[in-house]
Every structure is written in structure tokens, then in C-alpha cells.
Amino acid sequence: MSTGKPPSRRGALTPTLIVVALVVVGFIFFANVWTDVLWYRQLGFIEVFVTENLARIGIFLAGFAVMFLGVFFAIRIAYQSRPVYAPDSEIRDNLNRYQAQLEPVRRVVMVGLPILFGLFAGSAAASQWQKVLLFFNQEPFGQQDPQFNLDISFYLMTLPFLGFVTGFLISVVVIAGIAGILTHYLYGSIRLMERGVFTSRAAQIHIAVTGAAFLVLLGINFWLDRYSAVQSNSGRWAGALYTDVNAVIPTKAILAVAAALVAILFIVAAVIGRWRLPVIGTAMLVITSILAGGVYPWVIQQFQVRPSEETLEKEFIQRNINNTRTAYGLDKIQVNRYDATNTATTGALAPDAQTTANIRLLDPNLISDAFSQLEQYRPYYQFPEALNVDRYEVDGKIQDTVIAVRELNPTNVATNQQGWLNQHVVYTHGYGVVAAKGNKFTVDGKPDFLQSGIPSTGVLGDDSTYQPRIYFGESSPEYSIVGAPDGAPAREQDRPSGREGEGETQYTFEGNGGPNVGTFFNRVLYSIKFQSSDLLLSDGVNAESQILYDRNPRERVEKVAPYLTVDGNAYPAVVDGRVKWIVDGYTTSQYYPYSQQEQLSNATADTQTTSGRAVALPNSTVNYIRNSVKATVDAYDGSVTLYAWDDQDPLLKSWQKVFPTSLKPYSEMSGDVMSHVRYPEDLFKVQRQLLGQYHVTDPSSFYKTNDAWSVPADPTVDTDVKQPPFYMSLQMPDQDKPAFQLTSSYIPQIVNGNARNVLYGFLAADSDAGNQAGVKADSYGKLRLLQIPPEIQVPGPGQAQNKFNSDPTVSQALNLLRQGASDVLNGNLLTLPVGGGILYVQPVYLKSTGETSYPTLQRVLVAFGDKVGFAPTLDEALKQLFGGDSGAAAGDSDNNGQTPANPGPPATPAGADAKAELKAALDEANAAIKAGQAALAGGDFAAYGEAQKRLSAALDKAVQAEAKIPVAAPEATPAPASSPGPEATPSPSPSS
């Protein structure tokens, strides 16, 4: 009796292990879901999480149910209608053998197979949740397409849903039909006989119904294809062209009717049992679809359209032009002729005095190292590779500003302090905003800071007027544990002290920035989520602890607004006493009728994205885009606010019906935030890409493409990548005063990599939204295009750069600057329509090869027509260019005469020269000591006396050099990035 017990135990082990594995997997899944719930609930966007996931679950269940029921009943009906006897004994024996093998698992297969297909179908359907929600919450556009006169919302919200449903049902019918036919064959209802195919009456009815259902759905699909023709991108221009309108659309209607008629024949065949008519009908449908759907349109295109293409396609090209311009927001662009002059006359800049005073000299892509060396202070801080351009009011005037936040760089903490506690509890945040004037620099070429230092001070405020701590940024750690009960000792590294000898300060987070991990249950969940046992066991986690994660501003906005495409560049601003990241969000679609499609990644690519200084947009294709949402992300507590910026966008209105509480009207935006809103870069880049062709509104000219433009390549790099747009304060010719603008230029179309590099156009987008709370300036977002007549040969950016590089005076001066192992760096080449022509401005930086070196601005290059100016300041360079008097003062005019005419290598950190003198003196002293010892050993007392004199002189030099080395307080002289860590690191835990 006892021999049977061990097998029973072993038999129970497998189910037990399976159950345990399922429980573990289930709990891990639950941990990830519930932590998401905690994150959304803490942030106040639980509505988004619930709505999206309920929609996904509901659509999954619907898709699962339809596929499961279709396949299940197809198999069940085929099985129940199986014949009792088979007419052929040999075949019956083979089928009986198959049936006998299947019988033990038949019930499992008949249910399991539909479940398997249902799971795949449900997952595929759930991924289309946005189409479903938009269909049930759609808002009309109030505009009709030119072919069917249907509201645009039909194409963006109804047609995609109907296409999804039709395609899904066709898949169900096909899969269920195949499953039913295989079951009929397996159980003898369908036989392959010598005289043909034997089909039972039940199988005939089953096949007929399946075929009729398929044909009905195919007919619906043909009918919907009529409307899809206006979304086509298969021709030279988007939309339904002459052949589509006169051949494709009518034949699709014919095919739809024919498919319905053949479906009726299948039903008739199921009733009367005769299959000749449906077989003939199916053959005719196939032949008709080939002839009417392929051959006939080809004949029309080749023999009617091609010989007279321009005439016949004119109406449809006009539709494409109108709808593309509307879909991309180009329909209200203001176009002005600009008869630019190439002659730099004395006093020409007088009408543009305000623009001239604000011309930006600091290149945000080159001065990150300068910010780091002058303002980093500790190795665990960092600045981004590319800084941002914004504007602030300084002394009653708007000042273009280059701005960045001092973010945390925990990977640069000393190796012996890289433990879990330091990484996630001690080093948790960056500190402070650093900003410099865009149009000025110090005499030795350094940024002229408006906001700097630790503690943070400057015109933007100090610790008492704004919260400088940066817990949420573009380089924040994966997660941090912050917060503590009242009275508990602070454990977070805060910042270097403002007083010499006081070491570092500690801080405790006081906001509501993340879910609570004080309970044991939540600690377990987050330990699973981040796969960290330290999070569960460390004493760094207390009852009031919060966990901060998903800290990148762009990613936070993408997570709470999954229907948006987010701009690749979030930028910080000091507003309302906080540092807030401002993020632009777009509603997009690829279904706008007669609109040209663009791939976002290609349209927005430039030297910023290819170098990694800006985030590249995804490879999605769109033909409609709106900057519908402005979002702010608080850098201290991570709170996200979404403002419905384009509240007239029907797509956004539809999403507001889906998520009614997640967006606020822009009327609730503060004046402080409003004053830092700017026109988004990626939208502008998409628009400038389209405008290269669609500035032409005459269909005949558009057809000939004889006036197409291209965005010039960036002349400051060696690759043929597009020049990025530039933010600057600029007064366009029709404006009364300067406005903060986003600008770009055009040259003739680049064909096979070749183009005439002359300027054809200049585009500017007004980025000033005003500074009144809840009131958007009417001028915001206005696009202005200056068209330069082709007969006026204005040099393009590439020609201007070539003039700079080939000018003998410039070359000689730059060669002098390169002496001493220094690199000359060309800053961004700005294009400005001032002085009645086009002015090019390029700052020139110098950087030595040392590890702690940084670029300093040493020269400014300017060009107007064929003339070039080159001087230590922009003001002097403009005077050279305009005959000794430009008519306006540049922002750096105060530096005139102060910068050395032939500067040597760039400025080195304070005290570097004195340190070099000290080292040389000590080397001399060491050499004198050795010489004296050698003389003494040889008995040469005269030589020994000379050595002692040299030693005494060397020591005097050393004392004098040491006296020159400054002893700086932390707030005055920052430590270089390579300096050791803090004097007193709080709560070090190298062993963690």
C-alpha cells in the first residue's frame, strides 16, 4: 500500500509549482498596475488611466468575444452537422483514425482554439482604442471636403473606425470560415472524391453563409474605399486626382454593388442547392475587380491624363494646395515681397535699432561648457549639452536670454560613494537656474550672467522669491526616495554652502511629488517595480517617504496625455515663484483629405536632432497637426498642468470629451507663464518643410515646381543636414516693434544635393503671447514670409559662411587666434532682415585644449551683401560693415575698445597663471637643490654658493606666485567639473 504514496506526491508537485508560478506572475503584474494607479492618482490624472484602460479592456473583450464566438460556432456547427456514415470505407478508416486521435482533446481544442484566436484578435483590437474613442466622441470641423462634401470629421474620426471594424470582421469571417471548413473535412462533410468534391448539405449551407458574409463585408470595404481615395498618397499629389475621381471611385461603387449581388447568389445557392450562379458570379467579380479596379484606371491615366496632365489635374492640384495649407496651419500666412538690397549704406540700421540691440551673440549649443566651468560648482551637477533661448523683462526691457537649470549628475559622484543610499536618498535633486544675456558678454568673452551662483541670485529672483531645487528634469535619476517626518534629520544633499568653511547643506523635500512608500505593502510593490531589495530594506525609507520617478518633463506629459505628440524640446522658465518646464503638445492625424503627408522624423530633422541635442520625433506619418496643448511641469514637485491652447481644434475638443477633467482652458494660465510661451520648434519645422513647396498657390506653377524652395544645410557643420530654426527678438518689416520670433530661411530647391545658395525666402513665427493672465495676444502664432525676388541675388547662409571662411583678413585673424593649441568654433549663423537687406551674424568662440577649458567669445563676423565685417564686438563689426556708422548700437557696444585687438588663448580659470608660475619656481628650486648637493659632494664650494643663490631666488618667486593665487569662497569661484566631491557628504554609504 505504501508504494503508491511517493508517485502521488510527485504528481501533486507539478500543479503546485504551476499555481505558485501563476501567483508570482500575477502579483508582479498587479505590482506594475497598482503602482501606475498610485502614480496617476498622486498626479491627479487617474481619469486618464481609468478611461484609457477601461477602453482597452472593453475593446479587447469585444474583439475577443466576436472572434471567439465566430470561430467557436463555426467549429461547433460543423461538428454537429457531421454525417453519420461516410460513403467510402478507406476514407472512413483514415478519418476515423484522425477522429480517434483528436477525440481525447476534442473539447479542449474546440474551446481552446477559439480562445487563442480571440486573445490575438482582442489584443489587436485594443491597440485601436484611440480610433474607437474618437468615433464615439467626435466633434465636427465645420468644413467639407471638395469631393463628397462631407464634414472633415468623417475622414478623421468616422472612416478610420469603420475601416477598423470592417477589417476586423473580415478577419473573423475568414478565420472562422477556414476553421469551419477544416472541421467539415475532418468529420467527413467535405470529401475529395475521384469524381470531384463531395460536400454535404450542411457544409454547403455553412460555406454559402460564410461566403455571403465575406462578400457583404468586401462590398462595404469597396464602398469605404471610395472615400479613402481622397486620402490617397499614391499619386504625385495627395488626394483623389483625375483618374481617381473619374475611374477609381465609380468602379469602387460598381464593385461594392457587384459584391452584394454575388452575396445574394450565395444565399440563393444555400437554399436551392445549385452552385453554378455563385461560382459564375464570383468569377465575374474577380474579373471585374481586375479590369475595373486596375486596368481601366491605368488606361485612363496613360492615355487620357498623361498627355494633358497639367490641364486635367489642375482642379485637383488646387484642392491639394488648399487642404494641405489648411491642415498644417499655413492658410493664414502673411506673404510680403522683400526687395532686399545688397548695398550696406551708412546708418542703414537706424530703423532697426531695437532689433540690432537684441541680436543674440551667445550660441546655446556652444556655451554649455562655459556654464559648466563657471557655474557647475560640484561634480554632481551638470548642464545640458544644448541650452535654451527665452526672454525676460530686465530693467523694463525685454531681454533675450540663454537659460539652463543646474541638474543633478549622480553618476559623477566619487566611486566609493556610488551605493544605493547615495544614489536614491542622498543625491536627489539639482539646484538653481543659470541665465545669461543673449546679446552681451564680458570683456574676456564669458557669458554675462543675469542669474547665477549658489545660493541662486540675480534678476530672476533668489531663494526667497522662487524655489530653486530641481527634482524633475531632463537628467534626473530613475527614482529618488524623499520626504521625512517633522523633526527628522535631513538626509538629502542640497547644495554647497554660501559661506566659506561651512561645507554642504542638507534638505528634506516638502512637496507632494510622488506616491507614498511609507507602508510596507507599497515598499514591496515598488521593490518589485524597480527590482531593488534595498528599497524594501533600507532605513532611508520612512513612514513619510515619497518615491519620485518618471521625472522627465516630456515623458510625464506623454504619460498623462497619451493622445498627444510631444515636442522634442522642453524648456525651463522661472514663473510664479517656481521653475517650470514648458512642453508643447500636438494633436495629429494622417487622414485629412487632400493633404500631403509628412513623416515627422524627417520633417523635423536638423543638426539639433542628429547631434542628439534635441529629441527626435517618432517615425509617424501625419497630414494634419495643431499645437493644441501647452503643458507645464513643476521642477520641484513634478505637478503637470495641461492647457487647451488651441481650443478650436476639433480633435482636441473630442479628446476633451473623452477626458473632461484633464485639461484646463488657457484662460486659467497665469500672466507669468503666458509671457514665456513660445512658438514650438517641431511644428515650425514641419510647416517650413511644407512651405518650401506650398508657398506656391497657383496650380500651374505648382505643377511645374519651378519655384520650389529648400531649407539650407547648416553651414557651421560638415554634413548636409538642415539648419535649425533660431529664436530671436526681431522686428519684421511690417511690425511696429520687435517680437520674440522663431525664424528660418529658404534657398532654391536642392536637387541631387546641388542648389544655388541664394536666399529666396525668410520665415518668422510670432512667439509673443503677451503677459496678461488668460489672454492670448492676437499676434501670437502669426507666420510671416518674406519673398525675395529671384532677380535679386542675395547670398544664402552657405554663401555667407564661405565669404567668412575665404576672406583674407578674417582668415589671418582666425589663424592668429588658433595659435597656442586653441580651437576656433563658429557659432550659429543668424539671418536677419534688417537695413533693407539681409544681415548675417556669427559669433566666433575660442577654446583651448585643456580639460577645464571652455569657449569664450572673441570675435563677431557679420555680412551684408558681398561685404564682410570682423571685430571683437558686434557693434564694431557693424560699424565696419556700414561705413563707420551702422545707425544703431548693438548690445555689446559697452565692450568697444576694452577687448584686446589680438587676444591670445581663451581665458583660463582664475589663478591658473599664478599656479603655473608657482610650479615653475618650485621646479627651479628643486633643480638648484640638486645642483648644490652635487657641488658639495664634489668639493666645489663656489658652485655650491651659486646654487644656493638660485635656490633663494626661486623660493622668493614661489612665495610671490603663491600670494597671487586667490582663495575663493564657493559662491565666487566654482570648482571645476573634475574637482573632488563635497567636503562633507551627508549620509555616505559606500557599502550600500
Instruction: Reduce the DSSP state of residue 218 to 3 states and report it.
Output: helix
The set of residues, in sequence order, having a beta carbon less than 8 Å from that of 270 and lying 6+ positions away, is 204, 205, 208, 209, 212
Q: Nearest 5°: phi and psi at 331?
A: -75, -20
* Between residues 474 and 923, the one the model is more confident about: 474
* The pairing of beta strand 867-871 with beta strand 856-864: antiparallel
Q: Which pLDDT value is given to residue 292? A: 83
Q: How far apart are CA 166 and CA 747, in angstroms?
A: 47
Q: Which pLDDT value is given to residue 411? A: 81
Q: Which pLDDT value is given to residue 502? A: 56
* The pairing of beta strand 640-644 with beta strand 663-665: parallel
Contact call for residues 401 and 436 (beta carbons, < 8 A)? yes
Q: Which pLDDT value is given to residue 842? A: 97
Q: Which pLDDT band holds residue 978 (cuts at 50, 70, 90)?
A: very low
Q: Concatenated DSSP letters for 37-53?
A: HHHHHHHT-HHHHHHHH
Q: Is the pLDDT of residue 958 over 70?
A: no
Q: Which pLDDT value is given to residue 686? A: 97
Q: Is the pLDDT of residue 932 over 90?
A: no
Q: How far apart are CA 738 and CA 360, in angstroms?
A: 14
Could you tell me where the DSSP H helices lie in 578-735?
Answer: 600-603, 607-610, 650-658, 671-674, 681-694, 699-704
Q: How far apart are CA 171 and CA 795, in angstroms?
A: 59
Q: Is the pLDDT of residue 415 over 80?
A: no
Q: Is the pLDDT of residue 90 over 60?
A: no
Element holding 641 (H helix, E strand): strand 640-644
pLDDT tens by residue, 513-530: 999 999 999 999 999 999
Cα atoms in the 13 Å half-sphere on the side-chain side of 756? 13
Q: How many CB atoms lie within 10 A of CB 863?
A: 26
Q: How many CB atoms lie within 10 A of CB 87?
A: 11
Q: Is the pLDDT of residue 504 over 90?
A: no
Q: Which pLDDT band holds residue 936 (cuts at 50, 70, 90)?
A: low
For range 790-799, the mean pLDDT: 92
Q: Which pLDDT value is given to residue 863? A: 96
Q: Is the pLDDT of residue 9 over 90?
A: no
Q: Which pLDDT value is given to residue 499? A: 54
Average pLDDT, the chain: 88
* Between residues 637 and 911, the one the model is more confident about: 637
Q: Is the pLDDT of residue 241 over 90?
A: yes
Q: Which residue has the cell 502673411?
A: 334
Q: Which pLDDT value is given to residue 955? A: 63
Phi-psi region of 594 (alpha: psi -120 to 50; beta: other; left: phi over 0): left
Q: Which pLDDT value is given to residue 910? A: 45
Q: Which pLDDT value is given to residue 728? A: 96
Q: Which residue type is seen at 839?
A: L
Q: Is the pLDDT of residue 853 over 90?
A: no
Q: Which pLDDT value is given to residue 189? A: 78
Q: Which pLDDT value is given to residue 84? A: 67
Contact call for residues 871 and 851 (beta carbons, < 8 A)? no
Cell of 877: 563689426
Q: Which pLDDT value is given to residue 777? A: 95
Q: How many CB atoms lie within 10 A of CB 308?
A: 11
pLDDT tens by residue, 812-850: 888 877 766 678 899 999 999 999 999 999 999 998 877
Torsion angle of alpha carbons 452, 458, 459, 464, nearest 10°? 120
Q: Which residue has the cell 557655474?
A: 375
Q: Which pLDDT value is given to residue 495? A: 84
pLDDT tens by residue, 379-408: 889 999 999 999 999 988 999 999 999 999
Q: Exposed/middle/buried for 271, CB within 10 Å: 0-12, 13-18, 19+?
A: exposed
Q: Which pLDDT value is given to residue 687? A: 98
Q: Is the pLDDT of residue 991 over 70?
A: no
Q: Which pLDDT band holds residue 106 (cuts at 50, 70, 90)?
A: confident
Q: Which pLDDT value is given to residue 188? A: 77
Q: Which pLDDT value is given to residue 922? A: 67
Q: Which residues pair with 506 in a beta bridge?
A: 493
Lowest mean pLDDT among 113-122, 783-792, 981-990: 981-990
Q: Exposed/middle/buried for 306, CB within 10 Å: 0-12, 13-18, 19+?
A: exposed
Contact call for residues 446 and 907 (beta carbons, < 8 A)? yes
Contact call for residues 482 and 546 (beta carbons, < 8 A)? yes
Q: How far apart are CA 675 and CA 989, in angstroms?
A: 44
Q: Concatenated DSSP letters for 690-735?
A: HHHHHT---HHHHHHTTT-EEPPB-TTSSS--BPPPEEEEE--TT-
Percent of the chain with pLDDT over 90: 68
pLDDT tens by residue, 456-483: 999 999 989 999 999 999 999 999 999 9
pLDDT tens by residue, 711-747: 999 999 988 899 999 999 999 998 999 999 999 999 9
C-alpha closest to that of 739 among 358, 174, 263? 358
Q: How many CB atoms lie within 10 A of CB 300?
A: 18
Q: Which pLDDT value is given to residue 967? A: 38
Q: Where are the beta strands (DSSP E) in 818-921?
A: 822-826, 830-832, 839-848, 856-864, 867-871
Q: How far apart are CA 202 and CA 69, in angstroms?
A: 19
pLDDT tens by residue, 937-955: 776 666 766 776 776 676 6
Q: How many CB atoms lie within 10 A of CB 232?
A: 17
Instruction: Reduce the DSSP state of residue 594 to 3 states and report it.
Output: coil
Asked whether the CA dihedral 669, 674, 677, 679 is positive or negative, the reply is: positive
Length of the chain: 992
For range 596-616, the mean pLDDT: 93
Q: Concatenated DSSP letters for 229-272?
A: GGG--SSSSSS--HHIIIIIHHHHHHHHHHHHHHHHHHHHHHHH
Q: Which pLDDT value is given to residue 85? A: 57
Q: Which pLDDT value is given to residue 902? A: 46
Phi-psi region of 829 (alpha: psi -120 to 50; beta: other; left: phi over 0): beta
